[in-house]
Structure 1
Amino acid sequence: MELGIRGKAAIITGGSKGIGLATALLLASEGAEIAIVARDAEALQSAVEQIKEQTGKEVLAISADVSKAEEAVRAVEETAAHFGGIHILVNNAGTSAARPFQQVETDAWTSDLDLKLFGAVHFARAALPYMRDVGGGAIVNVTAIGGKTPGASSLPTSVSRAAGLALTKAMSKDLAADQIRVNAVCIGLIRSAQIERMWQAKAPELSWEEFAADPRHGIPLGRIGNAQEAANVIGFLVSEAASFVTGTSVNIDGGISAVL
């Protein structure tokens, strides 16, 4: 399918690894101009080389802390200046932070919300004028299924992710008049460095394929997903193929969530 994003400028936070990198690779392969944002300069350079090797595209790499408003503004302004505008924003930066309520100190709440909620707010607010200038755009907020069905010992992550879903719906209504679509994806078990650490801690005697298919994960489709499968959905949501889709969330979880 032709996604209709050739020549459009996309900025992806958390773009040096995992779902962010897979999304950057997909959008670059479709002809988009890509800026990736992350804190780790070495990981950024590795991602740039990988994208160049696989797609032939030059990528703008920006080292920034997305939780800081001034750094978000700098990253967005640098992207807009380099590519002449911004059409696509993927708010993907985030980490897992899941503990029982009584173990979460105030600083942990603050840092998690700063990264996952306010990081998305900072980038969207900074990108908004540039999207208006080009006649519209698409924003995808990457959240998690725990934001819809928070479980025990899932704090503060589940609260930050739930806030991201509320942000997505409210923004979609506020920005629709500017032809800016805002959607979310809710991630379940997707292969990542964190999941690989869990594999090595719990079942190092198993191959990845055996661990991914372990029925104890409870995934109806029978396996852990991969970053490319998440990137495919994100790519659709930012594309012209989804031109009438806004204010919604899509679970990428192999069917494990109990809610739509």
Structure 2
Amino acid sequence: MTQEFAGKVVVISGGSRGIGFGIAAAFAERGAQTVLAASSEDNLRAAADKIEKSGGLRPDTCAADLRTDTGCQQVYEGVAARFGRCDILVNSAGATRAGAFLELPTDAWQDGFALKFFGCVNLCRLFWPLLRTAGGHVVNIIGGAARTPDPGFLIGGSVNAAMHNFTKGLSGQGKLEGVNVNAIHPGLTETDRVEQLFKQRAATSGKTVDQERTAQVEREGLVRLGKPEDVAQLAVFLCGEQARHIQGTAIAVDGGGTPGVY
């Protein structure tokens, strides 16, 4: 494995599990000093142990509630104090609830926006001066629902669409200040999060979880579910020098599941 990112500091929110973990492992394997931010100290420790055991540079970790300004500030201050730099920021935290519209309470909407959208906004704002100094990269992990509304996934679709718009707007600032800003839209990916969504959808549809999983895969015409590594490979590419002319773009990693041209 090359050491393409040796000496770089890569901050990944939601880096303890799922897609965020996959991205962290890919950067660590390539020599980056990763910093994993998530809410669970136990999950973070397990993730760091796993990455180190696989041969990657051991990540630094920060347990914080990224739904809050205080939590995001905690992550920033830890990175600034220990490393004094940030070359890459990957926003991968956030889990929104699926379900029937009339059964989704207000707090589910507020929680969905608090972690995925406002966590992303706050971390981008805090780390921007360091990213500007480094001529760095921002990659926001969003999701196909930003482009394809679904009545059974209204919170996720709304949050993702807001995050997509924010990413495109921020890329304009990035053009002026030398920071590349792009997004990835994962499709159905083999993570604990997607299993949770299948359970939530099954509760609404009256199907079993296995029936719901099969129906979703068939609906999107997929050969298989995606894997975190599929998304990680694109994230690594977008943060390399060979991708410097890619700016303000959102790329789907969904096996062709997105039906529209947008």
Q: One fold, TM greater than 0.5?
A: yes
- Bigger drift between 116-125 and 106-115 goes to 106-115
Instruction: Tell me the distance in 1 between the aligned counterparts of 2:2 and 2:216.
Output: 36
Instruction: Tell me the distance in 2 between the aligned counterparts of 1:116 and 1:215.
Output: 23
Paired amino acid for 2:160: R
Do the aligned partners of 2:9 and 2:85 also contact (CA within 8 Å) in 1?
yes
Do the aligned partners of 1:38 and 1:62 also contact (CA within 8 Å) in 2?
yes
- The residue aligned with 1:193 is 192
Pair 1:177-2:176 in alignment = yes
Q: What is the CA distance between 1:44 and its match in structure 2?
A: 0.5
Q: Deviations over 1:200-219 (max 9, x none)?
A: 95339xxxxxx988895334
Paired amino acid for 1:237: L
Equivalent runs, 1:28-43 vs 2, <5 Å: 28-43=28-43
Do the aligned partners of 1:145 and 1:188 also contact (CA within 8 Å) in 2?
yes
Paired amino acid for 1:240: E
- Which SS does the other structure have where 2:54 is aligned? helix
Please give the root-mean-square deviation of Cα atoms over the aligned residues, in Å.
Answer: 2.3
Distance verdict in 2 for CA 1:249–1:3, change over 3 Å: farther
Instruction: Tell me the distance in 2 between the aligned counterparts of 1:57 and 1:32.
Output: 7
Instruction: Tell me the distance in 1 between the aligned counterparts of 2:217 and 2:128.
Output: 43
Instruction: Tell me the distance in 1 between the aligned counterparts of 2:241 and 2:220.
Output: 31
Equivalent runs, 1:38-53 vs 2, <5 Å: 38-53=38-53
Instruction: Tell me the distance in 2 between the aligned counterparts of 1:92 and 1:226.
Output: 15
Instruction: Tell me the distance in 2 between the aligned counterparts of 1:221 and 1:251.
Output: 14
Unmatched tracts of structure 1, length 5 or more: 205-210
Q: Deviations over 1:129-159 (max 9, x none)?
A: 111222x110011111011111112121110
- The residue aligned with 1:208 is none
Do the aligned partners of 1:3 and 1:239 also contact (CA within 8 Å) in 2?
no
Pair 1:224-2:231 in alignment = no
Pair 1:5-2:5 in alignment = yes
Do the aligned partners of 1:86 and 1:130 also contact (CA within 8 Å) in 2?
yes
Q: What is the CA distance between 1:24 and its match in structure 2?
A: 0.6
Instruction: Tell me the distance in 2 between the aligned counterparts of 1:154 and 1:114.
Output: 17
- The residue aligned with 1:203 is 210
- Bigger drift between 138-147 and 215-224 goes to 215-224
- Which SS does the other structure have where 2:112 is aligned? helix
Paired amino acid for 1:42: D
Pair 1:58-2:58 in alignment = yes
Number of residues paired by the alignment?
A: 253
Q: What is the CA distance between 1:100 and its match in structure 2?
A: 2.6
State TM-score, norm by structure 2.
Answer: 0.89
Unmatched tracts of structure 2, length 5 or more: 203-207
Distance verdict in 2 for CA 1:216–1:181, change over 3 Å: closer
- The residue aligned with 2:205 is none
- Which SS does the other structure have where 1:251 is aligned? strand
Do the aligned partners of 2:35 and 2:60 also contact (CA within 8 Å) in 1?
yes
Q: What is the CA distance between 1:121 and its match in structure 2?
A: 0.4
Equivalent runs, 1:42-121 vs 2, <5 Å: 42-121=42-121
Do the aligned partners of 1:38 and 1:44 also contact (CA within 8 Å) in 2?
yes
Q: What is the CA distance between 1:242 and its match in structure 2?
A: 1.1
Paired amino acid for 1:232: Q
Instruction: Tell me the distance in 1 between the aligned counterparts of 2:112 and 2:257.
Output: 24
Instruction: Tell me the distance in 1 between the aligned counterparts of 2:117 and 2:234.
Output: 21
